[in-house]
């Protein structure tokens, strides 16, 4: 990033923290539009950020769309949006598409999520699930038709399955964990990019099961029951809570959430101000929307990335292989690939 751009960013970051009369005048004068699209899981956080930001900067329009992580990246990597919400890291194909289109980007983790499996509130037989039982329900090789086929003693009732659409990062993450790179999820699931549709589907039938981000469970816990997952290492069922997600004991379904910023868009003052506001308030926004804040050190590193123009991803190697691990270990300057 040019020195001039870094200077402007520093000015923006300082200005947003002052709260002085001169800043109020600047707020009322800042104009523009910020276009966001992508993950339905990250949507509540970005929407909360947009709501708070537009109260401070009323002449800036922030539009937050929900087309799923994959759908958001399709637009982002050709320069159609300023920010892409993502419930998984960028893929190698998406990274290459962005490079081909000349789109440099900042990769900023904003919260932890626990991908949550839910059943109807009246389901009195599913107390917990192992990964093998989840494979029986959701994979094409398992494809259990009834609950009795999943565990002995459960009712011989047909299973109704609800899942995010294939453009969803949540779908990708779930598939990778449950089916692996070579497996596939069954094709007879009811799918939607709108998590509220999944909530309606699962809450409408005692034989239903589905999955989405923990925030949608927290919003609908009066009509849904979350399912404890047996941690493969601990061999014990663990429910998705703020504590278990942060510690990683809710495994293997704890994951970081991201926003990706187009570096060219970041030169515009309204985008810089919005990103500064987002990062400054990310911990509170995560808590308010049902997710788990990241360690302060991660937000500080994300802010440094913007200040110093560190574009690229930490979740691919130079050979375009996926890199995985704890966000505090992955999100460092040493792992950055541009």
Same fold, 32-112+255-330 and 114-247: yes
Largest CA distance in the chain: 69
pTM of the model: 0.82
Provide the pLDDT for residue 22: 45
Provide the pLDDT for residue 107: 97
| Beta strands 128-129; 190-192: pairing state | unpaired
User: Is 32-112+255-330 a domain of CATH 3.40.190.10?
Assistant: yes
Query: Which of 191, 190, 179, 181 lies closest to 140 in space, CA to CA?
Result: 179
Provide the pLDDT for residue 31: 93
Phi, psi of 182 (to 5 degrees): -95, -15
Phi, psi of 110 (to 5 degrees): -125, -20
CATH fit for domain 114-247, picks 3.40.640.10, 1.20.1440.120, 3.40.190.10, 3.30.1330.10: 3.40.190.10
Q: And the tokens for 113?
A: 């999520």
Residues of the chain with pLDDT below 50 are 1-23, 25
CA 107 centroid distance within chain: 12
Neighbours of 140 (CB within 10 A): 12
Would you kindly state where each structural domain of the chain is located, as residue ranges?
Answer: 32-112+255-330, 114-247
Provide the pLDDT for residue 26: 53
Provide the pLDDT for residue 28: 67
Provide the pLDDT for residue 143: 86
Provide the pLDDT for residue 25: 47
């Amino acid at each position: 990033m040019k020195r001039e751009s870094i200077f402007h960013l520093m000015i923006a970051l300082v200005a947003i923290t002052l709260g002085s009369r001169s800043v109020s005048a600047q707020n009322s004068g800042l104009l523009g539009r910020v276009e966001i699209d992508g993950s339905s899981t990250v949507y509540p956080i970005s929407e909360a950020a947009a709501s708070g930001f537009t109260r401070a900067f009323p002449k800036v329009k922030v539009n937050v769309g929900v087309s799923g992580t994959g759908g958001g990246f399709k637009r982002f990597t050709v320069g159609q949006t300023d920010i892409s919400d993502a419930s998984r890291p960028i893929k190698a194909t998406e990274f290459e598409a962005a490079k081909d289109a000349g789109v440099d980007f900042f990769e900023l983790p904003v919260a932890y999520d626990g991908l949550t499996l839910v059943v109807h509130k009246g389901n009195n037989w599913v107390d917990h699930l192992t990964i093998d039982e989840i494979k029986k329900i959701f994979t094409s090789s398992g494809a259990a038709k009834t609950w009795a086929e999943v565990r002995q003693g459960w009712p011989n009732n047909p299973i109704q399955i609800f899942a995010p659409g294939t453009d969803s990062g949540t779908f990708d993450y779930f598939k990778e964990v449950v089916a692996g790179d070579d497996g596939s999820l069954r094709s007879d699931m009811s799918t939607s990019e709108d998590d509220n549709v999944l909530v309606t589907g699962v809450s409408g039938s005692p034989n239903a099961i589905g999955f989405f981000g923990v925030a949608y469970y927290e919003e609908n816990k009066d009509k849904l029951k979350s399912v404890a997952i047996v941690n493969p290492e601990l061999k014990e069922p663990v429910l998705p809570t703020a504590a278990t997600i942060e510690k990683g004991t809710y495994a293997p379904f704890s994951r970081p959430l991201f926003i990706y910023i187009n570096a060219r868009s970041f030169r515009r003052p309204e985008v810089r101000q919005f990103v500064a506001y987002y990062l400054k308030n990310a911990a509170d926004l995560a808590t308010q929307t049902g997710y788990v804040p990241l360690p302060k050190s991660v937000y500080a590193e994300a802010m440094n990335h913007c200040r110093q123009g560190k574009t690229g991803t930490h979740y691919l190697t130079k050979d375009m292989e996926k890199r995985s691990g704890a966000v505090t270990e992955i999100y460092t300057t040493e792992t950055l690939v541009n």
